[in-house]
């Protein structure tokens, strides 16, 4: 694996993109990595497109700028696919984009014109509605990140969730993580 | 969060790292007024107070001017004192910054650097701290959250040193450091407490002829903040310059001492040199941008380009000798400023570096790049362009323009 892996998260204000970025970073830190997690510094409005970033590295991280060439892009809300250039900077075969969508990865690969890199999809909204009773998709996407990158373990995510949420919420969110991990498809 | 704090390695943003360091330094008084991007510092610290984790007197003031006044008074009474501010808040403190330094009381302040209005902007640049350049405060600029934590601990040792006794601001880039979650290695509470120790006081002679510690004490009355007109004001000011000279020495020493207990040092404390020994081109910068530049330098070196970075950590006192020495064999140097001096020849850091090099027989061609105002992000590609420009200047032996703007629409 590369020394450093860079993630860019796309969501809408209130959907928990930065929280997901932070949960991933905290899990990686617990597993011995160096981390950075930060939102795109700008106005925060409910429902408006937001971006967050995560860097995970086996060595101290010196970069202090936004991420322009991510290794992994995560899209929490598929209504952003038409309005935000989510594939920007995906330019290597080993890059990937993970999308909350019930569509097949092949269909989205074509729609988004992804030339290089893998496309993952997961019906995160359905999973979240079923288990949490609310369309909060960030933890589902975290499960797919674990599957697509192997950068953190499911046990690690479970531990982070327990440290962050009330016991029952942590348990439900981990069930979301596990189901998303199972359901995610890739091309 | 709690389970992590007991361990040695935690995830904290720069503001949280500052608040945590202040907690470990056994501070007597914190007087503050919140302002973005510093707010997390005082929020977090007030939680420590509310939870009984610290024995600090926390004073919520009605403005930054009052916050600095309260800090001045507390420090004059002998208390270890801390505050935090940024941007308009720091500007509102302006008057009291001079009173604090002129009164020779060692207040420590974290400044989460932010642009000044207008137009209204809450994001990071160095305009706020640069406007206080001549306020008589020591200014240390940090590169990341870890250094913010370490520098706060060092700050009390430096400011309270009895040969110095002047206030100190630790400057961390707003948002880029203040709001970015990073890995921070923390020291045990008792180690920090022991290292920082009790506040010491310079011994002074009172009007009664007694030699006593320099603090307000009813048992040993003395005047602080006296009227000193044409007869003495000038001598007071000259002594502040002398204190800065001591600071130049102690910042270095404390950087080495601290490295022994923590395993972490930042250059020689005053400047942090990266790949400068054989460098032909170099960038001089303050703060977090230095980290990104170091990564670019590694890439350039792989391509056979001899590039380097000089990060100035202590801007006040300014390490003239270190800067001259570090740059003497470099052919072309860009000084990058995250602030402006409209109508001047370049901005603050550029003026300072150019001034320092004027007397050197052997000196590089020097250019200024103003960048990142109002929090504008610069990609590694943008920053690499500065090195590419320097290569051209080094080869041709001349610079087209002394002052340049990076990442600006014109």
- Measured CA to CA, the distance from residue B285 to residue B357 in angstroms comes to 16
Residues forming a β-bridge with A39 = A52
- Measured CA to CA, the distance from residue B180 to residue B14 in angstroms comes to 7
Q: Nearest Cβ partner of A62 from B176, B294, B378? A: B294
Domain boundaries, chain B: 2-201+233-262, 271-405
Per-residue pLDDT at B37: 97
Per-residue pLDDT at B93: 98
**Number of domains present in the structure of chain A:** 1
Per-residue pLDDT at A70: 97
Interface contact B409, partner A, CB < 8 A = no
- Measured CA to CA, the distance from residue A143 to residue A179 in angstroms comes to 8
B352 Cβ partners below 8 Å, 6+ apart? B315, B318
Residues forming a β-bridge with B309 = B274, B283
Interface contact B377, partner A, CB < 8 A = yes
Per-residue pLDDT at B385: 98
Q: Which of residues 177-206 of B touch A (CB under 8 A)?
A: 177, 179-183
In the DSSP assignment, the letter for residue A5 is: E
B288 chain-A contacts, CB cut-off 8 A: 64
Find out whether A106 and A131 touch, Cβ atoms under 8 Å.
no
Q: What is the pLDDT along chain A (187 residues), one digit of tens a residue?
A: 689 999 999 999 989 999 999 999 999 999 999 999 999 877 778 899 999 999 999 999 999 999 999 999 999 999 999 999 999 999 999 999 999 999 999 999 999 999 999 999 999 999 999 999 999 999 999 999 999 999 999 999 999 999 999 999 999 999 999 999 999 999 9
Which chain A residue lies closest to B2 (C-alpha atoms)? Answer: A163
- Measured CA to CA, the distance from residue A109 to residue B23 in angstroms comes to 51
Interface contact B400, partner A, CB < 8 A = no
Per-residue pLDDT at A176: 98
In the DSSP assignment, the letter for residue B120 is: P
- Tell me the DSSP string of B122-142: -S--SHHHHTTTTSS-EEEE-
Distances in whole angstroms, Cα of residue B343 to Cα of each of A128, B254, B340, B347: 57, 38, 9, 10
Find out whether B272 and B311 touch, Cβ atoms under 8 Å.
yes
Which residue ranges of chain B lie beneath pLDDT 50? 1-7
Distances in whole angstroms, Cα of residue A98 to Cα of each of A2, B130, B191, B367: 19, 43, 45, 44
Interface contact B144, partner A, CB < 8 A = yes
Q: Nearest Cβ partner of B377 from A37, A65, A163? A: A65
- Contact between chains at B179 and A34 (C-beta distance less than 8 A): no
Instruction: Tell me the CATH architecture of domain B2-201+233-262.
Output: 3-Layer(aba) Sandwich (3.40)
| Half-sphere CA count of A93, side-chain side, radius 13 A | 0
- Measured CA to CA, the distance from residue A106 to residue A108 in angstroms comes to 6
CATH number at residue A9: 3.40.920.10
Per CATH, B2-201+233-262 and B271-405 having the same topology is answered yes
Angle at B311 between CA B310 and CA B313, to 5 degrees: 140
Q: Nearest Cβ partner of B11 from A25, A41, A62? A: A25
What is the Cα gyration radius of chain A?
Answer: 15
| Chains A–B, number of C-beta pairs less than 8 Å apart | 72
Interface contact B404, partner A, CB < 8 A = no
Q: Which of residues 76-105 of B touch A (CB under 8 A)?
A: none
- Measured CA to CA, the distance from residue A49 to residue A14 in angstroms comes to 10
Range of the domain at A117: 4-186
- Contact between chains at B176 and A34 (C-beta distance less than 8 A): no
Distances in whole angstroms, Cα of residue A73 to Cα of each of A10, A24, A50, B167: 8, 13, 13, 45
- Contact between chains at B180 and A26 (C-beta distance less than 8 A): no
- Contact between chains at B288 and A64 (C-beta distance less than 8 A): yes
Number of residues assigned to chain B: 410
Interface contact B299, partner A, CB < 8 A = no
Considering the domain B271-405 in this protein, what is its CATH number?
A: 3.40.50.920
Q: Does the ipTM exceed 0.85?
A: yes
Which chain A residue lies closest to B383 (C-alpha atoms)? Answer: A65
């Amino acid at each position: 694996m590369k020394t450093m892996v860079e993630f860019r998260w796309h969501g809408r204000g209130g959907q928990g993109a930065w929280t997901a970025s932070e949960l991933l970073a905290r899990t990686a830190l617990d597993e011995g990595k160096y981390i950075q997690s930060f939102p795109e510094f700008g106005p925060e409005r409910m429902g408006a497109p937001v971006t967050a970033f995560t860097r995970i590295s086996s060595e101290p991280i010196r970069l202090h700028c936004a991420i322009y060439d991510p290794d992994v892009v995560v899209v929490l809300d598929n209504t952003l696919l038409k309005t935000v250039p989510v594939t920007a900077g995906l330019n290597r075969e080993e890059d990937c984009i993970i999308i909350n969508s019930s569509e097949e990865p092949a269909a989205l690969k074509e729609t988004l014109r992804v030339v290089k890199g893998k496309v993952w999809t997961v019906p995160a909204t359905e999973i979240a509605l079923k288990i949490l009773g609310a369309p909060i998709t960030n933890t589902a996407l975290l499960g797919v990140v674990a599957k697509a990158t192997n950068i953190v373990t499911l046990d690690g995510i479970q531990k982070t969730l327990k440290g962050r949420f009330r016991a029952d919420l942590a348990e439900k969110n981990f069930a979301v993580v596990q189901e998303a991990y199972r359901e995610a498809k890739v091309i | 969060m709690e389970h992590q704090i007991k361990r040695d390695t935690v995830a904290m943003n720069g503001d949280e790292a500052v608040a945590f360091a202040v907690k470990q330094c056994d501070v007597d008084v914190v007087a503050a007024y919140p302002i973005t991007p510093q707010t997390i510092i005082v929020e977090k610290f007030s939680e420590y107070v509310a939870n009984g984790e610290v024995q600090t007197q926390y004073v919520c003031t009605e403005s930054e001017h009052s916050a600095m006044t309260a800090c001045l008074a507390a420090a004059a009474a002998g208390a270890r004192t801390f505050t935090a501010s940024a941007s308009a808040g720091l500007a509102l403190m302006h008057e009291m910054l001079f009173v604090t330094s002129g009164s020779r009381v060692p207040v420590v302040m974290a400044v989460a650097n932010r642009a000044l209005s207008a137009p209204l902007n809450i994001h990071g640049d160095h305009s706020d701290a640069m406007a206080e350049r001549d306020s008589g405060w020591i200014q240390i600029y940090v590169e990341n959250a870890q250094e913010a934590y370490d520098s706060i601990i060092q700050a009390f040792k430096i400011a309270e040193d009895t040969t110095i006794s002047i206030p100190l601001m630790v400057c961390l880039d707003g948002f880029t450091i203040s709001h970015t979650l990073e890995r921070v290695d923390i020291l045990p509470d008792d180690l920090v407490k022991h290292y920082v120790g009790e506040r010491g006081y310079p011994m002074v002679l009172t009007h009664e002829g007694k030699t006593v510690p320099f603090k307000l004490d009813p048992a040993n009355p003395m005047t602080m903040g006296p009227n000193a007109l044409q007869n003495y004001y000038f001598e007071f000011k000259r002594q502040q310059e002398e204190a800065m000279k001591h600071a130049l020495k102690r910042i270095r020493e404390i950087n080495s001492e601290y490295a022994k207990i923590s395993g972490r040092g930042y250059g020689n404390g005053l400047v942090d040199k990266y790949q400068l020994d054989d460098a032909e081109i170099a960038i001089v910068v303050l703060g977090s941008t230095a980290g990104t530049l170091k990564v670019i330098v590694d890439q350039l070196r792989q391509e056979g380009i001899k590039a380097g970075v000089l990060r100035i950590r202590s801007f006040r006192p300014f390490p003239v000798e270190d800067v001259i020495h570090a740059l003497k064999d470099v052919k072309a140097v860009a000084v990058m400023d995250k602030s402006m001096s409209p109508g001047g020849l370049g901005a603050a850091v550029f003026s300072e570096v150019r001034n320092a090099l004027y007397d050197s027989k052997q000196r590089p061609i020097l250019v200024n790049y103003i960048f990142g105002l109002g929090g504008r992000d610069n990609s590694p590609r943008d920053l690499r362009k500065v090195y590419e420009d320097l290569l051209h200047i080094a080869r041709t032996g001349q610079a087209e323009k002394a002052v340049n703007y990076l990442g600006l629409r014109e």
